Structure 1
Amino acid sequence: MGDDDAVGDDDVERRLRAVHAALVTEGAIDPLAMDDAETRLWIDCELASLVENRFFERVDPAARGAELRAVWAPRATRDGLQLGSPHAGARYVAPYWLVREGRRVGTIALSTGGLGGALLEVSSLYVLPAHRGRGVASAALRRADGAARAHGAPGLRVRTPWAWQRAVRFYLGLRMWVAGWADAIELTWRRGLPAHDIAIGDAEATFGVVVDGRKEHLLRASREGERLGWVESPRMEAHRGERSDVARLAPATFAVALAARGFPLVRSEDRWRARRDPSCAGEPEGLAHRIELFEAVDRSFGFDVRTPRIPGLLYRAYEDIA
């Protein structure tokens, strides 16, 4: 089975709506009302997230909404992003407040199954500055994943831009797996995937999975100047032979973790030339190509890009990337 398993659209929507209802009943989330002022604040949280991740300026939307809209909105949405009413897409995603101990502490949006498939997709995850550092986001994700599985969904996924490094590291720290990077880094918890274990030092790194409480070694990486050393264990080769989800997602997950620590991603000139081939999907060279493109696009819009420097990448301007 793939991400969505063999279920129809109506069944997926029924399951995901049940997930929403369960989380509301638990007191983990609160539906966003149609009230104009409440909706405005929710949109201001979206804008504050953009400002924080694109310019590294923390602006409290509850206290400085007018400043966000007047000063930051024109800069933060130069890429054409439209911050319209969160109610407009209710057929595909539903907006909520994050709730902790009865208080609204941030925002979250959950897919309804209209487009996103059987996995519960989480977006617009934002914690108000006054409630940071208390595990709000991680607790919300774990509760959402638990509710999804309890109602028959295979798990959840989130997407984050590569340049949003705090988010990338946060999701990897929760042992999420990287499922792709077509438009952004997509991460997932999914039924059947074990927890992974990543250890990264200055010159070497390892990737494995935790099975029955023990780490099963799969991949080893090393810095070789501007080249990436990459060795697969016999167990990883066995996973590839089985065409398991671990075999498909382990290289991608390890590659993103390495990139976040400034490791090289290109193993050889031949592999770099094949970076656009379908066979390179999920491989380090494919990520290197996307990182160069992602960062070029962000810089073209004047966003402040603060990412690890990947040895060997040229970091060309957008118009120069073939």
Structure 2
Amino acid sequence: MERELELELELELEMLSEDELKDLHRQVAEPLRAGTPAVVPLDLDDAGARTLWRACELCSFLDHRIDNPAMPLDPRAMTAGDIDAWSSRLLLPGERISDPRESDWYRSYWILVDGERIGTIALQVWDWGWAGPHLGFASLYVFPERRRRGHAKRLLTRLFAAMEQVGLSALRLETDWLWQPAVRLYLDCGFAVANWKHVLSLVRWRELPTPRVRVQQARIELLRESDQTPIFSAARDGEQLRWHDHHTEAEREDRANLQRWEPTLALWLATHGWPLIRSERTWADRLRWMDAGMPEGLAHKIQLWEAYARHHGLPVRTPRIPGLSYPSWEALS
């Protein structure tokens, strides 16, 4: 019996080969060439195209770090020297805008509408040995004059459909808490929180329901897909959070349902500037949820992320969380 369990575990953790992952990537990417928005590969032999793609990648950072976000920089006006200058000024330690030819992580693409470039995205099929292979994306950027027209939402819908068609497990990305427009976009598009271990890791699972959140003046609820009744709800009591768990007894005993919705509701609360701390006792226990879990874990990560940004002179334009202090990076370190 023990050997049978070991074999089952080995099969469950067996990862796809590089060739199998490449074939899955092709199956995802090929249909995306048609339709709107279209996704077409970057010509890696075109030096000018690579420079523009790098400039777009850089501007996805700068949009959240320049003094006046209402006047974003235009990557099409940037030279290679401009990219280096802005990178040295506003990128953090460990951040780097690399040449797409050198990327082993993602493949670079243009986003097209009516045959015209409107932005960039990077795609890759990953297999981490659990939960099945998934489609990851990064470097989603849209030219300033093309924003607020629904292109990004339509693209995310197409990516999810392509992932679903191939039978991958999920659509995943990582983003920064300080990039509030992006965070709100992904929540609005049905992404859930996988974890906040280093950054915000977000996911849309193929076989799990999309989280539905109802925002009211005095209450925010995460709803069941079946009947739109709350699984969790939250209310404000001054600077304190009132958190209510509405799971039924049958739901609590369902060991097959491993999806944890608490981190997703916590992020919704944070983006709306709601309290994240339920009591002094739960705040004292916040390190228990440093990777994911209850809202106090996210509150502590927000302290760290924002202190680190301020330490490096970056602007912080995020909701202020009632009842949360904002110590310096030195104090937290």
Q: TM-score, normalised by structure 1?
A: 0.89
1:163-174 superposed matches below 5 A: 163-174=178-189
Aligned equivalents of 2:219 and 2:166: distance in 1?
41
The question of 1:84 aligning with 2:94 is answered no
Match of 2:23 among 6, 14, 18: 14
CA deviation string 1:76-129 (max 9, x = no partner): 214341111122124x31010011222111000001327697111110000111
Structure number with larger C-alpha Rg: 2
Q: Structure 1 residues 124 and 238, CA, compared in 2 at 3 Å: closer, same or farther?
A: farther
Q: Structure 1 residues 310 and 22, CA, compared in 2 at 3 Å: closer, same or farther?
A: same
CA contact (8 A) 2:197 2:290 kept: no
Q: Which residue of 2 aligns with 1:63?
A: 77
Q: Which residue of 2 aligns with 1:110?
A: 123
Aligned equivalents of 1:80 and 1:124: distance in 2?
16
The question of 1:204 aligning with 2:219 is answered yes
1:180-219 superposed matches below 5 A: 180-211=195-226, 214-219=227-232
CA contact (8 A) 2:87 2:96 kept: no
Aligned equivalents of 2:205 and 2:159: distance in 1?
12
CA deviation string 1:167-226 (max 9, x = no partner): 111111112111111121121111222122212233321111322xx3132111111222
User: Secondary structure, in 3 states, of the residue corresponding to 1:54?
Assistant: coil
Q: Structure 1 residues 65 and 139, CA, compared in 2 at 3 Å: closer, same or farther?
A: farther
Q: Structure 1 residues 53 and 246, CA, compared in 2 at 3 Å: closer, same or farther?
A: farther
Report deviation, 1:65: 4.7
Stretch moving more, 27-36 or 109-118: 109-118
Aligned equivalents of 1:104 and 1:89: distance in 2?
21
Aligned equivalents of 1:294 and 1:243: distance in 2?
34
Report deviation, 1:6: 5.6
4+ residue stretches of structure 1 with deviation over 4 A? 64-68, 114-117, 243-247
Report deviation, 1:238: 4.3
CA contact (8 A) 1:262 1:308 kept: yes
Structure 2 unmatched ranges of 5 or more:
1-7
User: Secondary structure, in 3 states, of the residue corresponding to 2:229?
Assistant: strand
Amino acid across the alignment from 1:132? R
Report deviation, 1:59: 0.8
Counting aligned pairs with the same residue, the percent is 36
Q: Which residue of 2 aligns with 1:48?
A: 59
User: Secondary structure, in 3 states, of the residue corresponding to 2:43?
Assistant: coil
User: Secondary structure, in 3 states, of the residue corresponding to 1:134?
Assistant: coil
Q: Structure 1 residues 19 and 134, CA, compared in 2 at 3 Å: closer, same or farther?
A: same
Q: Which residue of 1 aligns with 2:5?
A: none
CA contact (8 A) 1:158 1:187 kept: yes
CA deviation string 1:7-57 (max 9, x = no partner): 622244432332123323557211111211110000000111111112225
Structure 1 unmatched ranges of 5 or more:
none
Q: TM-score, normalised by structure 2?
A: 0.86
Q: Which residue of 1 aligns with 2:40?
A: 30
CA contact (8 A) 1:274 1:280 kept: no
CA contact (8 A) 2:289 2:297 kept: no
CA contact (8 A) 1:219 1:233 kept: yes
Stretch moving more, 95-104 or 74-83: 74-83
Amino acid across the alignment from 1:31? P
Match of 1:101 among 107, 114, 117: 114
Stretch moving more, 265-274 or 40-49: 265-274
1:80-159 superposed matches below 5 A: 80-90=94-104, 92-113=105-126, 118-159=133-174
Stretch moving more, 126-135 or 21-30: 21-30
Q: Which residue of 1 aligns with 2:270?
A: 259
Report deviation, 1:150: 0.9
CA contact (8 A) 1:96 1:109 kept: yes
CA deviation string 1:293-312 (max 9, x = no partner): 11111111111111111112
User: Secondary structure, in 3 states, of the residue corresponding to 1:311?
Assistant: coil
Report deviation, 1:279: 8.9
Stretch moving more, 279-288 or 37-46: 279-288
Stretch moving more, 55-64 or 300-309: 55-64
Amino acid across the alignment from 1:252? P
- Structural RMSD (CA): 2.5
Q: Structure 1 residues 102 and 279, CA, compared in 2 at 3 Å: closer, same or farther?
A: closer
